[in-house]
Structure 1
Amino acid sequence: MSAALWRSRDFAVFMGVQTLSAFGDACTFAAVPLLMRTGTVSITDLGWIRALSAVATLLTGVVAGVIADRFDRRRVLRRCDLARFVLLGAVPLAWLAGPQPWLLYLVLPAAAVFSMVFQVTYVAVVPALVPADRIAEANGLLYGAYSVAYLAGPAVAGLVSQGAGPVYAIGLDAISFALSAAGLFLVKLRGPGSAGPERGLGAGVRFIRRHPVMLPLTVLLAVLIFFTSSLNDVIVYHLMSGLGQPDAVIGLVLTAGVLGSTFASAAVAPLRRRAGFGATWIGAFGLCGLVVAGIGLATDVPLIAVLAAAVTLCTGIAGISSVSLRQEVTPGHLLGRVTAAFWTLQLVLAPAGDAALTFSAKHLGVPATLGVAGAAVTVTALAALFTPIGRRTAAPPPPAT
């Protein structure tokens, strides 16, 4: 079955260039917090940068779904890649004249704008690359390829950072976007470049508000993201400032953490078949909270790596389950706008969470910060037992609007 998809040149090229781009993203994922090593930024600075990026993503979500539906989708993807190439490429170039930490406050939030538009458009593009009965298979291949990219990216970023500096690892991300934009010229989409009636983000919000499972899921995820969106920065801060680890070791720990998402892709399907969406989602986030608290108490680097992998295993299982549910219950013509609305509403509390978690880590300490965050994640997950999420199977979607 999988081999047949490789015979599609368009899908193969799309998967290749986007996997390369994911590798670049993984480099930046690790490189940005490693800038703390240089002394040019602090964990508080990172918190504010993350918060600004979250605000930018949040505001962009209002229009991202409309952009994906109204304009040629391949062109939208290509322009988003080119914009991120210019933005992230400016960082290592500017650093040639000396550290320019102020630039991060502009570049990373601006890049988040184009990332949000890209991701929403990407959801709509995949069905135009493969037959309808192969969409799930295609998504599985893409997720697996991205996991491999994220396994390699942090380790490479750590090595590059230790040898040349974190900004040059960010430069790798910029190059990956340029290659992705070039590769998209070779991809042809079946059918028209845009689809669906022009009804704006409101159609997605109305669908979520009326759905008995999607509504509480969105609310609870907003709370969970508040306590977890800056978890990566806090872990790096813990390893760097608390345990005195070099960049290469930190990169390997982040790589080990990504292993969890790889295992999640294999574990989620049998879990959902046996336990249903509700038990799978609640159990994954309930366990995730306990593991987050454990990271704050751990002082052994290999143990932190194992716990980081456990976190991504849990969040991966919950995340894939959530994506699958959204695809299952949303009418096809609304999927782009529901996706944009779903992501936007989830991020309502993210800016405050980014600032609060990093501020707390610096001033109250990592153990206390992750202890409270972990407890809050577990309690939030258990609260889902008192909503329709707690049922074994999701309720059917409301009539299409």
Structure 2
Amino acid sequence: MNTFRGSGLLRNRDFSLLLSSQLISAIGDQAQFMALPLVVLALTGSATQAGFVLGLGTVSFLAFGLVAGALVDRWDRKTTMFWCEVGRTVLTSSVVVAAWLDRLTMPQLYATAVLAGFSGTVFQVASTAALPNIVDTPQLPTALGYQQSAASAVSIFGAPLAGALYAVGQVVPFAVNAVSFAVSAASLRLMRARFQVERHDVVRTRARLTTEIREGLSWLWREPVIRFLTLVTAADKARYGAGYLLIIALAQQLGSSSLWIGVIFSGAAVGAMVGALVSDRVTRRFRLGRIAVVMLWLEAVMFPLYALAPSPLLLAAVAAGESLVAPVYAVAMTTHQLSITPDELRGRATSTISTFTTGALSIGTLAGGALISALGAKPLVWLCGAWLLALALLTTANRAVRQAPRAGTIPRKETAIETRAAGLAS
């Protein structure tokens, strides 16, 4: 493994290949995500069908997330990621071919959404679990910061690019996405690093899949800081899911055009990018507990400003400010989780956390529309602000979280399997 710090991390050939392939794939995903509902509307004229197809991706993570984590810990991660990308290349290409032959149907789009969602879930979990084997532990905040910055850049520039590609042709975004998956698969083949530590099969007996899932859940539950912050993050994600529709409703009440609504969310993406750019430095300097507490208090103070903003421009400013802190916390939390989790459990730990947070995000999104209709947009802002205030108070009162040191500085505990393997090796 190449070991360079700071900007030198990009001289790590394997990490550079991984980052570039993820960026290219994310651009393709963004293009397809924007184009898919438009294609469904063209086929059926039904907004309900369009929303259902988009929702299948999230449902896939909720349905298969825990299984994906267990499989990622069982299988060779690099090979698994490669075949996930090959599978998504074939699935997306089939949409292009069917549309070109004028044979595209809704059942094919449903199947593509589910299968691509499953492949994407496995790929995402494997990629996160493999990262500590591609870069050294002290480099994790930098590597995660680069990934967060790339994701924010796609959020800013991806939507206009997706619109331009769709204007060229309905299936062009799907073709671009298919190429991006193929490029990602080729990049994986060029990487030299091992994506997991060598397994000591002489001491490891393959358990049932459900047993392995329970192992991951049990390990996570025994880590009080991760357990508490996972639950708090899930509660925050529920608010975030409702906030997406809430911001749109507030913007419409101010008479904002669709262009201004786009500007507001671009402001959020810019704030997230700035946060991602400084996340490495902040994670290295401040304790995880302080970062978590400060993030929640800033969100609790800033979110009510949405109800007070008198113009779309100020809504965009609030969105940028509120989005600034989330990437810093995400990098610190993920660094902490990856650095203390044994390699053989990283897939399951990662998928468990993601399943909780993704499920809460989905609940918040589903509940957001109903709450806006029942309460109104501005009252819901104050309710969400009170929710965030409660989370900030609970986190501040948690002594274990307050005292959590800088991410990546806690020695990882040796597992029983590793202890037995070391004894046999000696």
**TM-score w.r.t. length of structure 2:** 0.75
Give the C-alpha shift of residue 191 in structure 1: 7.0
Single out whichever of 143-152 and 63-72 deviates more from structure 2.
Answer: 143-152
Higher relative contact order (CA 8 A, sep 6+): 1
> Matched residues in 1 for 2:138 and 2:313: separation?
42
The residue identity in structure 1 corresponding to 2:220 is I
| Match of residue 78 from structure 2 | 74
Contact 1:294 1:307 in 2 (8 A): yes
Is 1:141 the counterpart of 2:146? The answer is: yes
| Match of residue 129 from structure 1 | 134
| Match of residue 338 from structure 2 | 327
Contact 1:89 1:174 in 2 (8 A): yes
> Matched residues in 2 for 1:93 and 1:283: separation?
50
Contact 2:134 2:195 in 1 (8 A): no
| Match of residue 233 from structure 2 | 221
Change (3 A) 1:380 1:33: farther
Change (3 A) 1:380 1:88: farther
| Match of residue 223 from structure 2 | 211
Deviations along 1:168-223, one digit per CA (max 9) or x if unpaired, are: 65664444223322332322333768757556222221122112212222222222
Is 1:280 the counterpart of 2:312? The answer is: no
Give the C-alpha shift of residue 57 in structure 1: 1.0
Deviations along 1:132-185, one digit per CA (max 9) or x if unpaired, are: 654444334333334333332133235556x46898656644442233223323
Give the C-alpha shift of residue 355 in structure 1: 1.3
Contact 1:80 1:118 in 2 (8 A): yes
> Matched residues in 2 for 1:146 and 1:195: separation?
32
Structure 2 unmatched ranges of 5 or more: 417-426
Deviations along 1:370-397, one digit per CA (max 9) or x if unpaired, are: 4433432332232222324542325967
Give the C-alpha shift of residue 338 in structure 1: 1.5
Q: 1:13 aligned to 13, 17, 28, which one?
A: 17
Single out whichever of 251-260 and 227-236 deviates more from structure 2.
Answer: 227-236
Contact 1:50 1:354 in 2 (8 A): no
Change (3 A) 1:106 1:140: same
Structure 1 unmatched ranges of 5 or more: none
Contact 1:264 1:313 in 2 (8 A): yes
Change (3 A) 1:84 1:322: same
Change (3 A) 1:293 1:334: same
> Matched residues in 2 for 1:79 and 1:62: separation?
19
Change (3 A) 1:110 1:307: farther
> Matched residues in 2 for 1:267 and 1:166: separation?
38
Single out whichever of 97-106 and 305-314 deviates more from structure 2.
Answer: 97-106
| Match of residue 65 from structure 2 | 61
| Match of residue 190 from structure 2 | 186
> Matched residues in 2 for 1:362 and 1:195: separation?
54
> Matched residues in 1 for 2:250 and 2:41: separation?
12
Single out whichever of 213-222 and 367-376 deviates more from structure 2.
Answer: 367-376
> Matched residues in 1 for 2:64 and 2:71: separation?
10
Contact 2:77 2:195 in 1 (8 A): no
Aligned residues: 398
Q: Whose radius of gyration is greater, 1 or 2?
A: 2
| Match of residue 156 from structure 2 | 151
> Matched residues in 2 for 1:277 and 1:324: separation?
10
Contact 2:251 2:261 in 1 (8 A): yes
The residue identity in structure 2 corresponding to 1:214 is I
Q: 2:364 aligned to 350, 353, 357, which one?
A: 353
> Matched residues in 1 for 2:398 and 2:46: separation?
42
Contact 1:234 1:366 in 2 (8 A): yes
| Match of residue 420 from structure 2 | none
> Matched residues in 2 for 1:115 and 1:104: separation?
16
Give the C-alpha shift of residue 121 in structure 1: 0.3
**TM-score w.r.t. length of structure 1:** 0.79
Give the C-alpha shift of residue 365 in structure 1: 4.3
Change (3 A) 1:107 1:350: farther
Single out whichever of 48-57 and 352-361 deviates more from structure 2.
Answer: 48-57
Change (3 A) 1:312 1:194: farther
Give the C-alpha shift of residue 229 in structure 1: 2.9
> Matched residues in 2 for 1:107 and 1:347: separation?
20
Contact 2:6 2:139 in 1 (8 A): no
Is 1:83 the counterpart of 2:93? The answer is: no
Is 1:113 the counterpart of 2:118? The answer is: yes
| Match of residue 311 from structure 2 | 300
Percent identical pairs in the alignment equals 25
Contact 2:24 2:184 in 1 (8 A): yes
Change (3 A) 1:156 1:372: farther
Contact 1:27 1:173 in 2 (8 A): yes
Contact 1:239 1:250 in 2 (8 A): yes
Is 1:23 the counterpart of 2:35? The answer is: no
Alignment of 1:367-382 (within 5 A): 367-382=378-393
> Matched residues in 2 for 1:362 and 1:109: separation?
31
Give the C-alpha shift of residue 311 in structure 1: 2.9
Deviations along 1:271-296, one digit per CA (max 9) or x if unpaired, are: 45665222321221332244444335
Give the C-alpha shift of residue 253 in structure 1: 3.6
Change (3 A) 1:166 1:294: farther
Contact 2:38 2:50 in 1 (8 A): no
C-alpha RMSD of matched pairs (Å): 4.0
Alignment of 1:166-177 (within 5 A): 169=173, 172-177=176-181
